[in-house]
């Protein structure tokens, strides 16, 4: 069986930064915040190698517009 948990990989932070950059470009001008959450966001913590990302939408009326973009 494949190992589901990996030792911490400092590249996870770099991958998140690139993903955030791309999302901000697509969602340009919208009142949002993008955060790296979950176990891969915690330095030195073993984790499943899956990046969890939260997009915080300050104006809830934008949810439908953003869902169409993404």
Name every residue whose Cβ is closer than 8 Å to that of residue 17 and which is 6 or more positions away in sequence: none
42 found inside a domain: yes
**What one-character DSSP code corresponds to residue 58?**
S
Place of tokens 């470009």: 25
31 found inside a domain: yes
* Domain of residue 27, residue span: 11-69
- In the chain, the N- to C-terminal Cα span, in Å, equals 33
Structure confidence at residue 29 as a pLDDT band (50, 70, 90): confident
6 found inside a domain: no
Record the pTM.
0.85
55 found inside a domain: yes
String of b and e for 42-64 (b: at least 16 CB within 10 Å)? Answer: eeeeebeeebeeebebeeeeeee
Average pLDDT of span 10-31: 95
For the chain, the domain total comes to 1
């Amino acid at each position: 069986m494949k190992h589901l948990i990996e030792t911490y990989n400092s590249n996870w932070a770099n991958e998140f930064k690139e993903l955030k950059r791309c999302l901000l470009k697509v969602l340009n001008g919208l009142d949002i915040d993008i955060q790296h959450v979950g176990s891969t966001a915690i330095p030195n913590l073993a984790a499943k190698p899956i990046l969890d990302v939260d997009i915080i939408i300050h104006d809830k009326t934008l949810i439908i517009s953003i869902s169409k973009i993404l």
